[in-house]
Amino acid sequence: MLIMQNVTFITDLGLEDHYAAVLKAKIMERCPAVRFIDVSHQIAQHNILDASFLCQSTYPHFPKGTIHIVLVQSYYTFKSELLVYEFDGQYFIVPNNGILSLVFSRLDRSKMKALKLDKLRNPFVAFEQVGHAVACIKNGLLEDIGDVPFEIEEKIGLQPVTNKSEIRATIIHIDHFENVITNLSREVFDKIGEGRPFDIFYKNSDPLDRICKNYSDVGIGDPLCFFNSSGYLEIAINTGKASSLYGLYKNETIQINFYS
């Protein structure tokens, strides 16, 4: 009986061309017993912030042994290197372009392997190397993937701006339902708020003054905010579209004021 290997994808390859299919074909050549899960192939081109957010929101829900492939940014910006990273029994195959540092607050270089790419060959060599890495992981041959990387590119994600009585959070994602997701975690909210009353201000709308648990905590068509399954503050409308109704879009800010 073949044991199926879970492999997820987050890419900017799109769905109108053949690139995502070729990527899967290169994996299947070396590792036929795979179960593909498409998280998204429609990341905005080269947007590693969106890719890292989806990866961070997705991987905790998968079982140990899952392989997560995050290919965002064009082949020629991979710095001739892909990284394979093991974290808590799961594996991540990504370009060496800072994505890992945006997904994980701390990185253990001893858990990494580097896959060298030859830019003089067909650009699909990156897909071939991904297939090689998947096969090595599935067969327990991590030592055959490559060496520990000499240098890891790291980036700093956008963080909320805080003081003793205020938080300014940034909108980092608008989902399919037009819910508005910010970069404010429950941990930061609780640390600054210390249980005090608050108002959440966004555009010209009336402020929100409580954190809900479910959409049903408010009436149909009413706004609410809550900490979503990824742990970030989200502004939504029960059965409505918060982004278009309130004019809230990525990279804009909201403000939270706490009162004594």
Of the options 3.40.50.150, 2.40.30.90, 2.60.40.1120, 3.20.20.370, the CATH number for the domain spanning 161-258: 2.40.30.90
Structure tokens belonging to residue 226: 């809550």
Q: Where are the domains of the chain?
A: 5-144, 161-258
Cβ atoms within 10 A of the Cβ of 192, count?
Answer: 19
CA 234 to CA 232: how far, in whole Å?
6
Count of Cβ atoms closer than 10 Å to residue 233 Cβ: 25
The model's pLDDT over 223-259, given as tens digits with 9 standing for 90+, comes to 999 999 889 999 999 999 999 999 999 999 999 999 9
Closest-CA residue to 172 (of 162, 186, 158, 182): 182
Q: Are 39 and 54 in contact (CB under 8 A)?
A: yes
Length of the chain: 260
- The residue type found at 241 is K
> CA 185 to CA 230: how far, in whole Å?
9
Do 129 and 136 contact (CB within 8 A), yes or no? no
H helix intervals, the chain: 19-30, 48-58, 99-103, 125-138, 186-193, 242-246
The structure tokens listed for 224 are: 């609410």
Task: With H, G, I as helix, E, B as strand and everything else as coil, classify residue 103.
Answer: helix
**Residue the block writes with tokens 């995502």:** 20
pLDDT digits (tens, 9 = 90+) for 41-55: 999 888 899 999 999
The predicted model scores a pTM of 0.87
pLDDT by 10s per residue, the chain, length 260: 567 899 999 999 999 999 999 999 999 999 888 999 999 999 988 889 999 999 999 999 999 999 999 998 755 454 568 899 999 999 999 998 889 999 998 899 889 998 876 654 566 778 888 999 999 999 888 888 888 877 888 888 889 999 999 999 999 999 999 999 999 999 999 999 999 999 999 988 899 999 999 899 999 999 999 999 889 999 999 999 999 999 999 999 999 999 98
In the DSSP assignment, the letter for residue 78 is: S
Q: Give, in words, the CATH class of 5-144.
A: alpha beta
